[in-house]
Amino acid sequence: SKSLSDEENLKLFGKCNNPNGHGHNYKVIVTVRGEIDPVSGMVINLTDLKEYMQQAIMEPLDHKNLDKDVPYFAEVVSTTENVAVFIWENLKKLLPMGTLYKVKVYETDQNIVVYKGEEAI
């Protein structure tokens, strides 16, 4: 985080605090919801969903240094939580309104983030 000192970053982020960056092989699961079309039997055509995911996830993020190659993360800390928000916001622009239900991002098998957009608490 640009808001923290080197010592604070090390304490907060531990081994993920590497000045040269580090990589992850994220796994992303997108869940949609809505009325099932009686003709197609689908909420959304999976070919279309794959294309939306290609545009919203793979093109901006795949094989990228998030902090250096993705403008969004120039000002936002590239935690898995914020990666999930980034994906949500990108997909929301492409999917039919109200269709996107949840984005689940696996940083590892043990570290998983689920994001469902802004919800009142």
Rounded to whole angstroms, the Cα distance separating 47 from 57 reads 15
pLDDT at 10: 67
- Residue 26 CB-density burial (10 A; 0-12 exposed, 13-18 middle, 19+ buried): middle
- Which tens digits make up the pLDDT trace of 76-120? 999 999 999 999 999 999 999 999 999 999 999 999 999 999 764
* Catalytic choice (7, 22, 63, 119): 63
Is 107 annotated in the active site? yes
Mean pLDDT within 40-64: 96
Is 16 annotated in the active site? yes
Q: For 24-115, CATH number?
A: 3.30.479.10
Q: What is the pTM of this model?
A: 0.81
